[in-house]
Amino acid sequence: MIVLYGATGYTGRLIARQLSRTEDSLVVAGRDEAKLRALVDDLAAEAPGAEIEVRVALPDHRDSLDGLVEGASAVTSAAGPFSQFGVSLVEACQEAGVPYCDTTGEPGFMLELAERFGDGVAAVVPAAGFDYVPHDLAAALAVRALDDVHRVDTVLLVRHMAPTRGTILSALAAAAEPMPAYVDGRWRTERVGTERSSFAFPSPTGTVSATTYGGGDAIQIVNHSGATTVRTWVVLPGPAARVAGPFARLGSALLGLTPVRSALESLVGRAPEGPSLEDRQRTVFAVLAEATSKDGATARTIVTGEDIYLSTAVINAAVARRLAVVGSGATAGSGETGGSGGFRAPSEVAGDPVVFAAECGLELRYLT
């Protein structure tokens, strides 16, 4: 039985549809029972054979979270911002010995889980979605081609992105804090736009300029690559790249002021919940990964896809299914699908990265 928390949100509904098509037993959970039951009616029309249960739980009410995870083989959450609502659910999962994954894109939250639950009794796999799984899969494949990996760089290129309200709120939460960077074997914090560099994508894209942004994929990649430096980059239009650093510093200072942040969150709250299907389908993305060994050898991979919200739903459902199979009884080194307890990168539970990428509708390959 898989439990999906935050099931009635924009991304949560997409994940629920994916899970209802494949799971014999699914629990949809959240704070609003009426919305949950309406979702069940919709899912039943699409997947008549699915057994779907409703559970109501509040993110700040520990007893209800304990009841939420009872009997689960895995729990996945789409209820953000995760820095506000996420830790209590992870704690409940750990006490119950239930594997956990989510859709966060917040590096600070991910780092907190890595530090607190690194040796946990059950697997903790945050950011099982578009934000970082393509990066992690591409890096895992690149690392396989080398011995003694020294450095890994990932570069994100997105065209025609239309964010959801939840994505914007999570981004505001993350932007208020410096982002983590792993350099020379140590974690440090830095602002978006601290460094700029050029990277060569395959034709027709060609060489692009990118800026560092402290993405959470570094936290995942450090967990399994052996690299002493992991840098995460994003491709921005020329003018945006040039002002990214100063804008990030100013934005962080402003977001630190409670009235400013509250006003922005109120404004976002009046925006549409998420993009239309047409807008989603216009979005395409590519992630380039470059791994470098201590002797200077390199391996380059690329993963491509489209519709980042559908990709998140498919990826998250696939990770949750793997965790459900493994369950809480797996031990370290238990097999190809990972499954040891504690903080895990998605690639550590996915098995073969190329096969898993294909399962999720992505194309992952080496570049020459």
How far does the chain reach from its first CA to its final CA, in angstroms? Answer: 43
Q: Domain extents for the chain?
A: 2-128+309-351, 133-308
CB of 291 closer than 8 Å to CB of 152: yes
* Topology given in CATH for the domain delimited by 133-308: Dihydrodipicolinate Reductase; domain 2 (3.30.360)
Tokens of 111: 């780092």
Task: Give CA–CA dist 271/213, Å, rounded.
Answer: 25
What is the C-alpha to C-alpha distance for residues 13 and 187, in angstroms, rounded to an integer? Answer: 35
* pLDDT score for 245: 46
- Spatial contact of 109 and 77, defined as CB atoms under 8 Å apart: no
* pTM across the whole model: 0.86
State the sign of the Cα–Cα–Cα–Cα dihedral 187, 291, 346, 178: positive
Dist. CA 195–CA 202, nearest whole Å: 23
Contact 104, 127 (CB under 8 A): yes
Contact 113, 77 (CB under 8 A): no
Taking phi first (over 0 means left), then psi (-120 to 50 degrees means alpha), and beta for anything else, what does residue 233 get?
Answer: beta
Give the per-residue pLDDT at 51: 86
Give the list of residues 6+ apart from residue 270 with CB closer than 8 angstroms, or none. none
Angle between helical axes of 10-20 and 308-326 (0-180°, round to 10): 50
Look-up of token digits 């550590």: 348
Question: What is d(CA 121, CA 341) in angstroms, rounded to the nearest whole number?
Answer: 5
Which residues in 141-204 belong to E strands, given as ranges?
A: 149-159, 179-183, 186-190, 196-200
CATH class of segment(s) 2-128+309-351: alpha beta
Residues linked to residue 286 through DSSP beta bridges, in sequence order: 157, 304
β-strand pairing of 207-212 with 196-200: antiparallel
Tens digit of pLDDT per residue, the chain (368 long)?
A: 999 999 999 999 999 999 999 887 899 999 999 999 999 999 988 877 778 999 999 877 778 899 999 999 999 999 988 988 899 999 999 999 999 999 998 898 999 999 999 999 999 999 999 999 999 999 999 999 999 999 999 999 998 777 666 666 556 555 556 788 999 999 998 877 788 899 999 999 999 999 898 889 999 999 999 999 999 999 976 544 444 444 445 445 544 555 655 665 566 566 666 778 787 788 899 999 999 999 999 999 999 999 999 999 999 999 999 999 976 444 333 334 444 799 999 999 999 999 999 999 999 999 97
Provide CB contacts within 8 A for 201, sequence distance 6+.
Answer: 155, 157, 207, 208, 286, 288, 302
Q: Among 168, 174, 171, 176, which residue's Cα sits nearest to residue 269? A: 168
Q: What is the DSSP letter of 178?
A: P
Q: Which two tokens stand for residue 138?
A: 């591409």
